[in-house]
């Protein structure tokens, strides 16, 4: 009998997938609207093969979906909560940065 992955395994897998700078840039681009590979590459200034490769990874993990329209694959974020996750992470980072800056200022007052 094959053991089912735990919620922690699934969460770790999602975090691993999301821990790539290029994939985060692509997701940030897609949050505006669905786009084709060419548009994503132009907007992110990434090479088209790189975008295609990273979209395939995002798609295989269910983070983006693709639909054919006029012969092109149009990619979109599969679940709007992915955008919320990214926003929350940025809020946490902003708070941590502000806290660290406050600590530095306390240690080295001007």
What is the pLDDT, as a whole number, of residue 110?
Answer: 66
Burial of 43 (0-12, 13-18, 19+ CB in 10 A): middle
Q: Which of 41, 15, 13, 6 is nearest to 26 (CA)?
A: 41
pLDDT tens sequence for the chain (110 residues): 778 889 999 999 999 999 999 999 999 999 999 999 999 999 999 999 999 999 999 999 999 999 999 899 999 999 999 999 999 999 999 999 988 887 777 777 76
What is the pLDDT, as a whole number, of residue 105?
Answer: 76
Alpha carbons 31 and 29: distance in angstroms, whole number: 6
What token pair was written down for 81?
Answer: 């909560």
What is the pLDDT, as a whole number, of residue 101?
Answer: 81
Q: Cα 17 to chain center, whole Å?
A: 8
What is the pLDDT, as a whole number, of residue 28?
Answer: 96
């Amino acid at each position: 009998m094959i053991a089912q992955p735990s919620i922690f395994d699934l969460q770790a897998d999602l975090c691993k997938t999301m821990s790539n700078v290029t994939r985060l840039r692509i997701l940030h681009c897609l949050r505006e609207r669905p786009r084709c590979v060419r548009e994503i590459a132009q907007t992110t200034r990434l090479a088209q093969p790189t975008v295609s490769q990273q979209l395939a990874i995002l798609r295989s993990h269910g983070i983006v979906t693709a639909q054919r329209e006029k012969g092109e694959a149009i990619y979109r974020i599969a679940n709007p909560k992915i955008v919320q996750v990214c926003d929350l992470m940025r809020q946490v980072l902003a708070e941590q940065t502000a806290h660290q800056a406050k600590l530095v200022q306390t240690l080295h007052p001007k």
